[in-house]
Amino acid sequence: MRYRTIGTDPGTRREVSVLALGAMLFGSVTDEETSFAVLDRYVEAGGNFIDTSDNYAFWTDGGQGGQSEELLGRWRRSRGTGDEIVLATKLGARPLAPGTDYVGNPEGLSAKVIREASERSRERLGVEKIDLLYAHIEDRTVEPGETVRAFAELVAEGSVGLLGVSNHAVWRVERARALAAAAGLPGYEVLQYHHSLLRPRSDVPSGLFPEGSLGAATGELVSYLGAEPGLTLVAYSPLLGGYGRADKPLSSDYDHPGNAARLAVLRDVAKETGATLNQVVLAWQIGGELPVIPLAGASSVAQLEENLAAVDLELTPDQRARLDAAH
């Protein structure tokens, strides 16, 4: 396994594996025995960066989520894991009531929610301190200063280490970070967005992102990361559910000429390396100039093994240049 540093403060920064493990469906779609087996193998391989959220996976049973955090808590207790595992979770997108969702009825990012939701997450995870806590989705009903101060209070109290943000417009990320810096408070240092070799259309609105896909790592976000070397991008859904899977065709958001060109180059590089399409995509992210940590889930140990093999896949400068230039 290889590692990189997230965070800049010596008191809170952590060394994490370059491949993060997504636990979204653990304890719901993925049963406990399989989830434990995947977690055990990930740690055995040197992985130490596990990601979840307080609302995973509310859509599987019409509840409010919490199954993934609860499973991770049971796994930690049964295995006796300690500070070597970096647990990241998110808040703000938990449905306010069972049978609803985060599109029209999210908990949001008020100071009250941040306090109460983080305490619930710590209890489910069985930890005194959440290593990395994200603001999951935007809440434009709350002044950003309130959110910034509420997160900073948790860091000051020692119940949270690093702060992160996901699925926000870049200007709102910068505004929150500027407010924190001006007040001498800790700000967001890890950004979690959807990022893969294939790129969705950015002009397609949805219920969650009415202005377009705020969840995608756009060129503006990539530019921002390049200008702020202290930030790290955690790339969720890097494999789009599995590159090349006939049973999982890409959504219409990805149906545009640029992606056809990217797929052609990807297939060529996969043939040259003898690797799978998934492995090439992960290796492309891990070895790039920008600090990107792919966050990939796995519903079986076999899927995890395929992902782990990408850590040691070295693309040549020419292969990387061709993947970067395809459009």
142-178 pLDDT, tens digit each: 999 999 999 999 999 999 999 999 999 999 999 999 9
- Residue listed under structure tokens 């540093």: 5
Predicted local confidence at residue 210, as pLDDT: 47
Name the residue among 298, 304, 268 with its Cα closest to residue 284: 268
In sign, the C-alpha dihedral spanning 243, 247, 248, 253 is positive
Name the residue among 154, 156, 223 with its Cα closest to residue 191: 223
Q: Are 13 and 4 in contact (CB under 8 A)?
A: no
169-181 pLDDT, tens digit each: 999 999 999 999 9
Instruction: Output 306 or 11, whichever has higher pLDDT.
Output: 306
Mean per-residue pLDDT, 298-326 = 97
Contacts of 156 (CB under 8 A, 6+ apart): none
Q: How confident is the model at residue 110 (pLDDT cuts 50, 70, 90)?
A: very high
44-58 pLDDT, tens digit each: 999 999 999 999 999
Q: Which residues pair with 275 in a beta bridge?
A: none
Q: Is 56 marked active-site?
A: yes
CATH of 3-249+277-315, one of 3.20.20.100, 3.40.1180.10, 1.10.357.10, 3.90.1300.10: 3.20.20.100
pTM: 0.95
pLDDT above 90 for 256: no
DSSP H helices, the chain, are 32-44, 67-79, 111-125, 144-157, 170-182, 219-227, 257-273, 277-286, 301-309, 317-325
Q: Are 19 and 293 in contact (CB under 8 A)?
A: yes
Catalytic residue among 42, 56, 102, 193: 56
181-190 pLDDT, tens digit each: 999 999 999 9
Percent of the chain with pLDDT over 70: 96
**In the structure encoding, which two tokens stand for residue 164, read together?**
């992160």
**In the structure encoding, which two tokens stand for residue 86, read together?**
């970096």
Mean per-residue pLDDT, 289-305 = 95
Contacts of 269 (CB under 8 A, 6+ apart): 280, 315, 319, 322, 323
User: Where on the phi/psi map is residue 46: left (φ > 0), alpha (ψ -120 to 50), or beta?
Assistant: left
3-state secondary structure of 304: helix
Do you find a cis peptide bond into 57, omega within 30 degrees of 0? yes
